[in-house]
Amino acid sequence: MAIYDLHSHTTHSDGTLSPLELVTRAKSCGVDVLALTDHDGTFGLQEGVDAARSVGIRFVPGVEISVTWGAQTVHIVGLGIDWLNEKLRAGLAEMQIKRVERAKQLGRKLETNGIPNALERVKAIAGLEAPTRTHFGRFLVDNGYARDLQDSFNKWLGKKGKAYVRGDWATLVEAVTWITAAGGQAVIAHPGRYQYTLTKLRCMIEEFIECGGAGLEVVSSSHSPQMVGDMSALAKHYALLASVGSDFHSPGNPRVELGRNLTLPANLTPIWSTW
Ligand code: AMP
Ligand code: MN
Ligand code: MN
Ligand code: MN
């Protein structure tokens, strides 16, 4: 059986590998089909396509769009997108502006808390105009303000952190519409991770389907076996296509590796069965 991994990141968002390094690693991990899904941008996709051709692996161009729904951030993955599509490009351009603004606010909050020039220093490490919270986290760890990435979210960047900035991202309908306009399939990323009640999660799924959403990421490295079971039941109930993804960001965490432990429960319809 072919190994699919339909959720991963590169240095074009908060991953630490370039598209070529990512694709090469995926190949050596035995992945047959890899989707690159950087946060709110498609900057690495052409490089990914070229790299995949040279390495000999099937490549699915993707994106992971940040959405605000029910006072929380939800991630919607788009698979098989035409990243030159005007509607998608315009939407993602707005997202980049929001990200730059959020990074500025975050930088200011860190300065208020005694960390000078935070944004400039983070930008220098990230090499991006719109660094992600992961970049801020790595900066905080490297400079002794947090023990590790998790600690940087607990102390600074997460909901209870001193420098928390509430995201004001796309709406659910916007994200799904941009993806489908670009010929892609919209998938709710790591649904087990959101702190919604089951009622609220169902409500979000129903709205997602209404706006044209296609799939649920049933298997993810953020999911416990119990969550995989719960998400399988939801995928079945709503007749959603099932997706799988490691959400790989960087080497070094044996729990999160490209293509590892991504077997889909047998009674579901894999999203790739429609390709
Ligand atoms: P952003 O989209 O800039 O708000 O950054 C979100 C990213 O931060 C996610 O995609 C994860 O990669 C990372 N992240 C979120 N929460 C945590 C956490 N508690 N520990 C480590 N990384 C996290
Ligand atoms: Mn990330
Ligand atoms: Mn995500
Ligand atoms: Mn991700």
End-to-end Cα spacing for the chain:
16
Q: Report pLDDT digits (tens) over 62-97.
A: 999 999 999 899 999 999 999 999 999 999 999 999
pLDDT at 193: 96
Ligand (nearest to CA of 66): 1
Instruction: Please give the C-alpha separations between residue 121 and each of 93, 118, 126, 143, in angstroms, as whole numbers.
Output: 24, 5, 9, 11
Average pLDDT over residues 255-268: 96
Q: 128-145: per-residue pLDDT in tens?
A: 989 999 999 999 999 999
Ligand 1 atom nearest 134 alpha carbon: 8
- DSSP state, 79? E
Which ranges of 182-269 would DSSP assign to H, the alpha helix?
A: 198-210, 225-237
Mutation choice for ligand 1 from 102, 132, 194, 250, CB with most ligand atoms inside 8 A: 132
**Ligand 1 atom at minimum distance from 102 CA:** 3
Position 47 scores a pLDDT of: 98
| Residue 149 CA to ligand 3 centre (angstroms) | 15
Residues that place a CB less than 5 A from ion ligand 3: 75, 189
| pLDDT of the residue at 206 | 98
